[in-house]
Chain A
Amino acid sequence: MSSPTLRQALRRPRYLLGGWPWRAAFYLLSGVPAGLALLAAVLLLAVVGGALTFVLVGLPLLLMLALIGIPVAAVERYRLRLLDPAPLVDPHRTPGRPGLQAWLRTRLGERVTWREFGFALLFACVLWPVDGLVAGSVLVVCGGLLATPVVMAAVTDGEEVRVLKLYLADSYPQAFALALLGLVLLPLLAYPLGWAAVARGALTRRLLSAAPSEADARIEELGRSRKRLVDAFEAERRRIERDLHDGAQQRLVALSMTLGLARLEGPAEPLGSLLAKAQEEAGVVLVEIRELIRGIHPQVLTDRGLAAAVEDLADRSAVPVDVDLDLAERLPQPVETAAYFAVCEALANVAKHSGASLARVTGRADGERLTVEVRDDGRGGAGTAGGSGLQGVADRLSVLDGHLIISSPPGGPTVFRLDVPCSPAHLVE
């Protein structure tokens, strides 16, 4: 928002007050000398190069003509920043080896070089006259009208003046009326001027930006399929958790209840102690299933969100854990899940390897990004190498365009820091 483009500025009421109309005019007008010089250069190179081809001297000149699009495009990209502060990326590759030959080979082999050549020809023959005509006529019309009284006083000593070669004014009131007309036209014409610059800029941007390559499209598709895989994996986790909860867990509770009732009804020994033993075992299995379900997907994460789920983790941790998560509202579900399992893994590492006596989980979400930090006072030396669980965490976060940074110098302290974009708009993508 801090640096708007001309297109955005045109839609705002303050367009006329900012320097935008002048920037648009400057953008269009500055193309004129550049285009003229280019036209001259193109003609010169073509004619001289062509004429001298038979003595071979002309060939380098023709080569220069073919490459003329490269500097032209560079200048045009630079000029575009008058309208749009976001730079247009230079799509040229860096040659693999140093030297002129490698450079020439790379450039001549690139499609973009030829597109730039085409653009240079278009610029030399069509674009700059149009630019000049549009901006020039606005300035000439307004300027001419505004200057009427001055011209009348200076040139003809108040007798008469022919305005824009069209209209003959022969008195001061008339001249001032024309100047007033110019003053009114100036803001009105600033809009078409702005839109002309926007159109010219858009055309340049379109012709000179890097064409999305097939590889880019493939990478994008890979990213999407990776996201789908993680989603499918998550859905499967939920399904397993639900099946265990609604199936095995409920049946075991019912079994335990039946065994309990049987103990009430039955004779004391030896059946009673057998029933007690069976019930005890059912109890052990229930505890195991409960822990298993919680590890697959904790209900509290779904119900109460990340902060409550992390507090729950902290409650269960062998190492004391302080939790300070400042999350005003619920985060998108994939973010909550990924962050939860990241903290889970980090705390498991703290308990298993760090020798720490205290860990601390802190986190903030500002609507754009979620950052969570797990810090311990242990001996350090943790990393994602060796296919550890931390690598899995990093992979999972990267699917959401997030990062995991681990700092764990020998002697500690270990700091896990994760950072995930969490605006809903980002996730729709």
Chain B
Amino acid sequence: MLRIVLAEDSVLLREGLIGLLERFGHRVVAGVGSAGELTGAVTEHRPDIVVTDVRMPPGFSDEGLRAAVALRRTTPRLPVLVLSQYVQRSYAEELLDTGDGTGVGYLLKERVGKVEEFVDALQRVADGGTVVDPEVVRQLLRHRRDPLSRLTAREQEVLALMAEGRSNASVAEALTVSEGTVSKHFGSILTKLDLTVTDATNRRVLAVLTYLRK
């Protein structure tokens, strides 16, 4: 049994969710309707998991999400499941960035219809898992779509020559530019391909691999 604090400003949904969760043997120790009350209820009840809406009073903006992020900052181990009406990469990313990214979930509200899956996801978050809605994952993946497209034509040329196994000096000669220019291009390629491994030679291999995989 999980002890749950639930924040949802629509009374209809709040009551429905309480009914659903109790049907599965969990206990909603506090059902609140605003972000301020949510923080208070968590301090008071120390629940096993927080379930919260994004858009809530008083501003009907993203107060729920902000409260969740704030709670995760003060209590990094507190599992939080955010129910959202929005397929929004930035919201999900913000949440996943809190703590070490474990014990958080970002689900579209409509997932509660698939009752058993929803309760299962809730349990996984409470156990320290990470749950992200498939729609949002799709958006996250699209965002990372073909990293090579971010390279300029010149940078792609540089990378292609590197894939042939050439050294910086040899690439510079082939493109009739200075070696400094080549290493500058290479630096920008690494940034654009999100290759942040510290070992420089390893990054070179990874960059080339990315190129070859396309």
Contacts and interface: CB of A to CB of B under 8 A. Distances in A.
Q: 7 closest pairs, A vs B, by CB?
A: A256-B113, A260-B115, A303-B62, A260-B113, A250-B10, A286-B110, A253-B109
Interface stretch (A75-83, A97-105, A180-188, A310-318): A310-318
A322 interface: yes
22 contacts: A242-B60, A246-B10, A249-B85, A250-B12, A252-B110, A253-B13, A254-B13, A257-B16, A257-B17, A257-B112, A260-B20, A260-B112, A260-B113, A261-B20, A261-B115, A283-B110, A300-B88, A302-B61, A303-B61, A316-B139, A316-B142, A320-B149
A358 B110 contact: no
A308 B12 contact: no
A258 B20 CA distance: 9
Nearest to B66: A303
The binding surface of chain A is classed by DSSP as: helix
Contacts of B23: 261, 264
Interface of A: 242, 245-246, 249-254, 256-261, 263-264, 279, 282-283, 286-287, 290, 293-294, 299-300, 302-304, 308, 311-312, 315-316, 320, 322, 358
Given A253-B109, A261-B20, A299 B149 contact: no
Q: Is the interface of B mostly helix, strand, loop or mixed?
A: helix
Contacts of A246: 10
Interface string B112-131: 11111010000000000000
B113 A257 contact: yes
B195 to A, nearest CB: 18
A299 B110 CA distance: 18
A251 B88 CA distance: 21
Interface in B9-38: 10, 12-13, 16-17, 19-20, 23
B43 interface: no
Most buried by A among B90, B91, B118, B142: B90
Given A261-B23, A261-B115, A282-B113, A299 B86 contact: yes
Nearest to A280: B113
A251 B115 contact: no
A322 B89 contact: no
A322 B89 CA distance: 16
Contact of A283 (B61, B113, B115): B113
A280 to B, nearest CB: 9
A308 B146 CA distance: 20
Contacts of A311: 89-90
Contact of A259 (B19, B62, B113, B118): B113
A253 B113 contact: yes
Nearest to B53: A250
Q: Which of A254, A286, A287 has the most CB of B within 10 A?
A: A254
A293 B60 CA distance: 15
A120 B19 CA distance: 89
Contact of A250 (B13, B62, B146): B13
Nearest to A357: B149
A286 B109 CA distance: 10
A299 B88 CA distance: 9
Nearest to A285: B110
Contacts of B16: 254, 257-258
Contacts of B10: 246, 250, 254
Nearest to A264: B115
A254 B10 CA distance: 10
